[in-house]
Structures are given as structure tokens and as C-alpha cells.
Amino acid sequence: MVYLDHAATTGVRPEVIADVTAELGSLGNPSSLHEHGRSARRTVEESRERIAAALGCTPHEVVFTGGGTEADNLAIKGLYWARHAQDPARRRILLSAVEHHAALDPAQWTADHQGAAVEYLPVDRLGRVSPQALREAVEDDPGSVALVSVMWANNEVGTVQPVRELAEVAAEYGIPMHTDAVQAVGAEEVDFDGSGVGALSLSGHKLGGPVGAGALVLARGLTPVPVLHGGGQEREVRSGTVPTALVRGLATAVGLAVDEREGHAEHLRSLRDWLEERVREVVPDVVVNGDRKWRLPGIAHLSFPDCEGDTLLMLLDAQGISCSTGSACSAGVAQPSHVMSAMGADPDTALSSLRLSLGRTSTPEDVDALVGAIGPAVERSRAARAKRRR
């Protein structure tokens, strides 16, 4: 079996498994005052400190969540509610048109149920938001903007955004900026304080940590209205018993990913470039999508003209190769990826795409297996499509 879908989820690292397993055998609610509780609290706070050190923030700024989706919801809904409550004129939420649905959907929910006005920042053909585009959107009515949300790196095509420059524009107008950095941590240099953003989401299972653990990093002075209410844990921003074992595993995963980032990124970049070169040898008209210069090292997003991505995925899966398409499927009907559409791709190009994402366990043998299977798969997909069109 060949796994080329690490951007969806990647393997839990042995060190993380060991830490989570060890902690699962310990008793104690970290909110309890007795020794068992204090021991669990020490583990939680030490984990918070380790994550803060890795991401360039203070421990107080790290709020534990159940994952990246919850962190995005807390940032977007919570900051909108807080800012709108301070000034009812602040109704606008500005998002890039290529955000993950974990950001797009909560923003749309606020529009449907809370009276927000959601506006999508355009991207160029490489998938990048320009600081000028953000400035123009803000300048329409600066006092009406509640927040800006632009992901650090795109989960589909891998394009890395000019986060620091975008945050500078937002800061000029006193607008908090959130960034979904789920794909970026461990692949790009992520320095929270240096980036200038006010909120940053991350998820454990994208970098070798456990599913169900994530964090929202919140700059001092920025307090979103909670999405969950209960015991008031996590600065009264995110209620719920903190899962000590998962938090310890998250901290280990983040620390290892950041410490090993440079060597790991270079390995992925070399393997990805070789993959693209080898695929082009057997499918000469393949198209590489996204920004060839500013992109994540482990993602190759490829379009195969006159093919259907879903068909290619199933043909590769039959050969023991796991990957993703560049399209979302709704009720069994393939729809063009909103990311590719925002980049100006026509529907046929968007629907002919595959995302091949590499990870820590990826090897040259994985590339060999893909190259051996992709040529026949493309031929069969094209033949089937041509037959249906006759």
C-alpha cells in the first residue's frame, strides 16, 4: 500500500504514541485541586509551554481545542461576536476565496444566522491573496470590518500566503487577522509573534499528533466570545475538561515537527519535485497547479487533461495507492473545487485534478509505484470519458 494523502492526515509519531499511552494510565482532572489533579495540570501547562516555545508565542496565548475545525470556528464566530458586540457596525468578515471549509462554513453561518456580511478576497491564478486586494476591500469601509481570515498555506494546492504582509495591512486599520495554519506548522516557519496575526489555528493529526487535539493561539487582549460554555477552562474561552493525554501528545508532535522542519521540508521538496518530473515523463501534458515558488514542500497538485479526478483516484486506489482529488463530492455528484475555481480554472481542469501529498514516511519507492500506475490510469480515464461523450 502506498499512502499519498498526508495532507488529509498523517501517521502518529512513535514518540507521540508513547507519551499519549503513558498519560492515559494516569488519573486526574487538570481542574481538580488535589494531587492527582495538580499532576495533570502540570502536564497540561508544560505542554502549553512547549507549544508556545515552538510557535513563538507565550503560553498564555495557547488555547487548547479539539482540533483545527474547532479552532477556526472559535476564531471566526467568536471574534465576530466580540467585535460586533463592541460596535454593531462591524459586520463584515473578509476571507480568502480559497479557505478550507472549516473557515468558510462558520463564516457563512454567521451570515445566515447572525447578520454578518461575508466577503471573499480574490486570489490570482496561483492562489495567492495580494496585500493590495485586502487593502482595497478594507478601504471600502474600514469601520465595518470585524475580522480578516486568510490561511497560512492552502490545503489543496499548497500555495503559501504572504501572511506577514496581509497582517500588516489589517493592523493599519486595527482589524484582527486570523490564519488557519493547520497545513503550515512543521512545513513552513511559523512564528506567531513575528507574523503579526491575532489568532492562529493548528491541528495535531496533520503533523504526527493525535486526532482530536488542536489549539487556537490568541494574542493578548484578543478575547473571542466562547462557542462552548461550561466550566470556563482555557481562559474561559474554551470550556471542557482538557484531555491531558492528547494535549501531551500534541505538544510532542508540535515540538518534533518544528525542531525537524528544515530537514524534513527539504526531503519532501526533493521528493515532490522528483515525483512531478517522473509523472511528466509518462503524462507529458500534466499541469502543476499552485505557486511553484511559494508552496508547501509536500503537496503536488496535478491536473490531467481529458481525465476525471474521481476516476483516477479509484483506478489508483485499485492499485493500492491512496490520494485525493481536487474536487469535493456532494450527494454523489462531483463539483469543481472552489479553490481551483477561485484561481480561474475551468470546470474540466478543476475536475481532472489529483492532490498527491507526501509525509514523513514517504519514500522513492512510493513515487515509483505512482509512476508505474499513473500512465495506464490516465489512458483508461481518457478512454472512458471519450466513450461517454460519443
List residues with catalytic annotation. 329
Q: Sign of torsion, CA 102 104 105 111?
A: positive
Angle between helices 163-172 and 131-139 in degrees, nearest 10: 20
**C-alpha–C-alpha distance, residues 364 and 254, integer Å:** 26
**The three three-digit cell numbers of residue 319, written as one number:** 492499485
Q: List residues bridging with 120 in a β-sheet.
A: 95
Q: Is 26 left (phi over 0), alpha (psi -120 to 50) or beta?
A: beta
What are the backbone angles phi and psi of residue 288, rounded to the nearest 5°? -90, 125
Q: Which amino acid is at 106?
A: P
Three-state DSSP string of the chain? CEECECCCCCCCCHHHHHHHHHHHCCCCCCCCCCHHHHHHHHHHHHHHHHHHHHHCCCHHHEEEECCHHHHHHHHHHHHHHHHHHHCCCCCEEEEECCCCHHHHHHHHHHHHHHCCEEEEECCCCCCCCCHHHHHHHHHCCHHHEEEEECCCECCCCCEECCHHHHHHHHHHCCCCEEEECCCCECCECCCHHHHCCCEEEEEHHHCCCCCCCEEEEECCCCCCCCCCCCCCCCCCCCCCCCCHHHHHHHHHHHHHHHHCHHHHHHHHHHHHHHHHHHHHHHCCCCEECCCCCCECCCEEEEECCCCCHHHHHHHHHHCCEECEECCEEECCEEECCHHHHHCCCCHHHHHCEEEEECCCCCCHHHHHHHHHHHHHHHHHHHHHHHHHHC
